Amino acid sequence: MKAWRSVWLQRLAHSLVAHHDARGVLLFVMGAWPMLAVLWLMQTVALLGLAGTQHFHRPWLLGVHGALSALMAWLLGVAWWAWTRRWRTPAQPGLVRWTVWPGVLGVTALGLTYGLTDTPMALVLMAQIVLARSVFKWAQLRPAIVAAFVLVAVVGLDRLGPGQDLSPMLRAPVFSGEPMAPWWLWWTRITFAVAIGPHTAMMFFYAGVFARRQRALETLVSADGLTGLLNRRAFLERFEREAHRQARSGRPLTLLMFDIDRFKLVNDRHGHPAGDTVLAEFGRILRDHTRERVDTAARYGGEEFLLLLPETDLAGGERVAAKVCDHLRQHTFQVDAAAFHVTASVGVAQVVEGHAEAALRLADNNLYDAKRAGRDRVVGGVATPEPVRPGTDRAGLFQ
């Protein structure tokens, strides 16, 4: 259930961000129709004489109720039309126009009959505009919004004269300085809740969309695209933090540096896609041998990989390195009709007193020694802040 919901939310977010017009229309109607339905029900209660009848001019209420019914029926028809076109091309400007203009101007007119300055209908109108802006492009929405504000301005100026009612449908203002009638107490509360509900839901939804996109961007920046492991920059940042923690706590911390033996020959004999397969498979092997939320694996560059093991001493790091190498050695790679195996050399260094740079240098030197000793082996040591050994020539060993 959770996986299905996650997939559905991702598709919904993609439709919103990509501005698929038909799906945007469906979402707009899904958000706007419940608001209008609640207003319709409250007007029906007043028309039937069950409550609140004395607060309305009945001819106005009948006309507004009929117009609201027509608007709701229109939006349902538009939603059905959008449903039949939801898998078609994303750009369907005609469908959007038939939705936005009645939706925005209809609610604007409804708000003006109640009085935008004397009731929560201004909030309903703003919620409608925010909802429309969430699912449609600004260029599609702008003409209807401009027309709505012009209508509000013209009607507002006309009602500024003496003796003009701010709300032509109501017999008396909702807020008159006297205690509010029970009808208006309930009406304002329900209208406020109906208006703020979709608005709040959209805000929470977009907050979730932005959070997921931020996590995706962070992963894109910090991860290697081929293996899914951390990249060099992200690993070194984490290594620095772990080294500082090791210096404070004195707990063991070990670094492993892997290099695929004779990787250049794999590319030359079997092609670069085969080389990519080897790298991706080795990344999977490293993930399988790491403790979740404890160890850190990364692709350092080319065919070199790093593995950081907190709470692990030199002997433990060498055991992990041997297991990884055994697993890689036993794996059979298949390219067309050719099968081949690869091995890896490993340099291991235990961090001492938080000297991350010294550990990285020692792991590199130990990897060099493993290559020089015949490859497919593990060489380890305890790191101390010493200068790089002179005369180290790695030419030809990492081919």
d(CA 40, CA 365): 78
**Which tokens belong to 334?**
């298949």
Nearest CA to 152 out of 117, 128, 185 is that of 117
Q: Are 202 and 31 in contact (CB under 8 A)?
A: yes
User: Where is 240: in which H helix or E strand?
Assistant: helix 232-249
Q: Are 257 and 308 in contact (CB under 8 A)?
A: no
Task: Give the number of C-alpha atoms closer than 13 A to the C-alpha of residue 169, restricted to the C-beta side.
Answer: 21
How many separate helices (H) and strands (E) can be counted in the chain?
12, 7
**Which tokens belong to 180?**
């509010």
Q: Which amino acid is at 252?
A: P
d(CA 263, CA 375): 12
Which residues contact residue 176 at a Cβ distance below 8 angstroms, ignoring those fewer than 6 apart?
none
Catalytic residue among 218, 242, 292, 303: 303
End-to-end CA distance of the chain: 49
303 catalytic? Reply is yes
d(CA 373, CA 379): 10
d(CA 312, CA 350): 8
Q: Are 349 and 380 in contact (CB under 8 A)?
A: yes
User: Which whole-number Å values give the CA distances from 258 to 10, 141, 354, 374, in the listed order?
Assistant: 37, 57, 21, 15
Catalytically annotated residues: 303
